[in-house]
């Protein structure tokens, strides 16, 4: 079951739900948005009857402890608890474990049925200056020497967090443009060899960028982000550099 005890958070999935909800609040989301992010991030677990109970109970408990229990989360969790919770999963563990888990669920039910505390303050997550900023342009120089430019055009959801959204610039190389000319370079459009045009980065940070070979070359203001007609993909900086190498190899093979 991926657990090491009968406690509500002795389950890896429950811990992940708790942390994801807290992280969403720290990133600036309100209670309802944080709940929506969690439900989206754990959609696969919610489709499994056993994991669904774990997710919903952990979400309701976390909301209650932070003074943000929503009516929908409360109703779903109480419906589960009043029908026996997830005790069926514990039958093979023996009657002792079933009794201990039942006690955990009873305490949770009492908490959810009782008066709820007011919202506890959650300190907003500060965006460290090392993270990629709107308008910054980075270069990745492939092994062939060809430079590839990409620009930060916004922020996008990554599960329960956010990451920079980048788009590639259509720069022919082989040299780098003058920083003052960056605003004049158009964005690269969809191409059979270049299917990714907009990517949200999941592991943004100076160290991750440097390890992947990204170097800041300049910045300029960008227009408000509009949806890409080609959709959006998700990547780490390292995965992005690998993708650029494959595009570079294909371009050279094609002549």
Name the token pair of 222.
Answer: 């960008």
At 112-141, the pLDDT tens digits run 999 999 999 887 655 555 788 899 999 999
- Report whether pLDDT(1) > 80: no
Cβ neighbours for 71, distance < 8 A, ≥ 6 positions apart: none
The 3-state DSSP class for residue 209 equals helix
2-6, 30-34, 57-61, 181-185, range with the lowest pLDDT: 2-6
pLDDT single digits (tens) 73-117: 999 999 999 998 888 888 888 888 999 999 999 999 999 999 999
- Rounded to an integer, the average pLDDT of 33-38 is 94
Q: Decide if 205 contacts 131 (C-beta within 8 A).
A: yes
Q: Give the residue-averaged pLDDT of 221-225.
A: 77
CA dist 242 and 254 (Å) reads 19
* Residues 6 or more apart whose Cβ sits within 8 Å of residue 134: 152, 153, 154, 155, 222
Whether the predicted pLDDT of 223 surpasses 80? no
> Bigger pLDDT: 110 or 161?
110
**Mean pLDDT score, 225-232:** 76
CB 148, CB 193: distance < 8 Å: no
- The per-residue pLDDT for 12 is 82
Residue 156: enclosing H or E segment and its boundaries? Answer: strand 147-158
What are the structural domain ranges in the chain?
A: 12-113, 136-254
Q: What is the model's pLDDT at position 204?
A: 87
Please give the structure tokens belonging to residue 38. Answer: 């969690």
Rounded mean pLDDT, 149-174: 84
Q: Is residue 193 predicted with pLDDT exceeding 60?
A: yes
Q: What DSSP state is assigned to residue 3?
A: B
pLDDT confidence band for 2 (50 / 70 / 90)? very low
């Amino acid at each position: 079951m991926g657990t090491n005890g009968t406690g509500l958070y002795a389950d890896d999935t429950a811990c992940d739900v708790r942390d994801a909800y807290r992280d969403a609040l720290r990133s600036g989301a309100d209670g309802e948005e944080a709940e929506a992010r969690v439900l989206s991030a754990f959609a696969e677990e919610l489709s499994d009857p056993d994991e669904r109970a774990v997710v919903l109970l952990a979400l309701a408990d976390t909301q209650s402890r932070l003074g943000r229990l929503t009516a929908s989360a409360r109703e779903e969790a109480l419906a589960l608890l009043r029908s026996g919770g997830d005790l069926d999963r514990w039958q093979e563990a023996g009657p002792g474990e079933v009794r201990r888990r039942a006690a955990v669920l009873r305490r949770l039910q009492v908490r959810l049925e009782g008066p709820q505390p007011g919202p506890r303050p959650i300190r907003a997550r500060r965006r460290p200056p090392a993270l990629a900023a709107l308008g910054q342009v980075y270069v990745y120089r492939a092994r062939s020497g060809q430079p590839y430019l990409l620009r930060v055009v916004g922020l996008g959801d990554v599960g329960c967090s956010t990451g920079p959204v980048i788009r590639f610039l259509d720069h022919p190389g082989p040299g780098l443009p003058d920083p003052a000319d960056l605003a004049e370079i158009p964005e690269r459009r969809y191409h059979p060899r270049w299917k990714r045009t907009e990517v949200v980065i999941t592991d943004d940070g100076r160290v991750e960028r440097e390890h992947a070979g990204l170097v800041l070359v300049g910045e300029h203001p960008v227009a408000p982000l509009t949806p890409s007609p080609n959709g959006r993909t998700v990547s780490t900086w390292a995965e992005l550099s690998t993708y650029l190498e494959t595009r570079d190899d294909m371009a050279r093979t094609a002549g």
